């Protein structure tokens, strides 16, 4: 359901949300039905709080700016599912994680 245009706008929205949380969106990419983010955020920040904001703000703004997304909602008036995956990459080289995200099959 996401196009390159959706993902480009979503990246800026999520970058802005991260900045509000004193976090840095290091890498972003997505496919037609999900996104991957590499975020550097302060240890005092609860990951659930950051994810909730990322999903809430992006959903609200994308639905306002791209009404065509409404036909793809999985559930009533929700752009995102309630689930997410968050992992720590403290031991992995960031270049490997960035490469993985860059290699997602972004819609053209």
Q: 31-89, pLDDT tens digit by residue?
A: 988 999 999 988 898 999 999 999 999 999 998 999 888 776 655 567 888 899 998 77
Q: Which of 102, 77, 98, 79 is nearest to 89 (CA)?
A: 98
The four Cα atoms 8, 53, 97, 105 give a dihedral, to 10 degrees, of -40
Q: pTM for the complete prediction?
A: 0.82
């Amino acid at each position: 359901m996401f196009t390159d245009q959706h993902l480009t706008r979503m990246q800026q929205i999520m970058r802005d949300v991260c900045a509000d949380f004193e976090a840095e969106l290091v890498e972003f990419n997505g496919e037609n039905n999900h996104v991957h983010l590499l975020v550097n955020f302060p240890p005092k920040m609860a990951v659930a709080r950051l994810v909730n904001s990322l999903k809430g703000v992006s959903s609200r703004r994308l639905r306002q700016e791209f009404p065509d997304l409404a036909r793809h909602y999985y559930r009533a008036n929700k752009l995102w599912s309630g689930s997410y995956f968050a992992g720590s990459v403290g031991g992995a080289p960031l270049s490997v994680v960035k490469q993985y995200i860059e290699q997602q099959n972004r819609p053209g």
